[in-house]
Chain A
Amino acid sequence: GENVEQHPSTLSVQEGDSAVIKCTYSDSASNYFPWYKQELGKRPQLIIDIRSNVGEKKDQRIAVTLNKTAKHFSLHITETQPEDSAVYFCAAGPMDSSYKLIFGSGTRLLVRP
């Protein structure tokens, strides 16, 4: 069935360093790949997304890359700040009649001041 694998499960970086989170998906028909940030006790909030007709997208300190052949996509956060600390989820939108999102298991990012 549809599956999204996410690594690492936890990531600790020094303030100012970069953080990279990677995901792989199983459904080759997936065409929409959002990333969500969830702070403790809060709702998931979309931070960036990418569609299958684009290989890379950047928004200030955040960038996402997509390799459709390998079914990989990654989140890159540069110049990390303590307020970037949260759980980050990748997701894939299968190309079927449902358009549901399949989520990865999450990465807990800690940015040390």
Chain B
Amino acid sequence: NAGVMQNPRHLVRRRGQEARLRCSPMKGHSHVYWYRQLPEEGLKFMVYLQKENIIDESGMPKERFSAEFPKEGPSILRIQQVVRGDSAAYFCASSPNRGGNEQFFGPGTRLTVL
């Protein structure tokens, strides 16, 4: 049973470009969470999605950031017009259902904005 997959593992973008991060949850998991981790800091919640639904996006910046989890295919975190402050590790986690169940993390995407 493959774990949570994320790609790319490393992404370099210039200021103003778009970054697109992908996350495939574990088989049988329908809940996806995105977290951001700045260097030497903890993980900050960004958004929680189920298939075709955004459940909670309270941690996501109002502008330039969007997320989706379509019926088919991976969850996508999209950052438009990236700035240097967007440089971070972005982790995706999945869980089989809501409420008190462990979240399994992917290997992360390390975004560097030049």
Residues in A lying within 8 Å of B, measured CB to CB: 6, 31-32, 34, 36, 42-46, 49, 51, 89, 91, 93, 97-106
Hey, which chain B residues are within 8 Å of A51, CB to CB?
A: 100
Q: Is B44 an interface residue (CB 8 A)?
A: yes
Question: How many B residues touch the partner, as a band?
Answer: 20 to 34
| Contact indicator A99/B48 (Cβ below 8 Å) | yes
Name the residue in A6, A44, A89 with the highest tally of chain B Cβ atoms < 10 Å from its Cβ. A44
State the CA gap A89–B43 with chains docked (Å): 9
> Which residues of chain B have C-beta atoms less than 8 A from A31's C-beta?
100
Which 10 A-B pairs have CB atoms at the shortest separation, nearest pair first?
A: A98-B56, A32-B100, A103-B42, A43-B105, A100-B45, A103-B43, A105-B42, A99-B98, A44-B105, A43-B107
Are B59 and A100 in contact, with the CB atoms below 8 A? yes
Given A99-B98, A103-B45, A105-B42, 14 more contacts at CB 8 Å?
A6-B42, A34-B103, A43-B91, A43-B105, A43-B106, A43-B108, A44-B91, A89-B42, A98-B55, A100-B33, A103-B35, A103-B43, A105-B41, A106-B42
Q: Are A97 and B91 in contact (CB under 8 A)?
A: no
How distant is B84 from chain A, measured CB to nearest CB, in Å?
21
- Complex-state Cα separation, A33 to B56, whole angstroms: 20
Q: Could you list which residues of chain B lie within 8 angstroms of chain A, going by C-beta atoms?
A: 31, 33, 35, 41-45, 48, 55-56, 58-59, 91, 95, 98-108
| Complex interface: chain B residues within 8 A of A105 (CB) | 41-42
Contact for B44 among A34, A49, A99, A103, CB less than 8 A: A103
Complex Cα gap A42–B106 (Å): 9
Tell which of A89, A99, A103 touches B99, judged by Cβ atoms closer than 8 Å: A99
Q: Are A101 and B33 closer than 8 Å at their CB atoms?
A: yes
Whether A42 touches B102, Cβ cut-off 8 Å, given contacts A89-B43, A100-B33, is: no
A42 near B48 with CB under 8 A, answer no
Nearest residue, chain B, Cβ from A4: B42
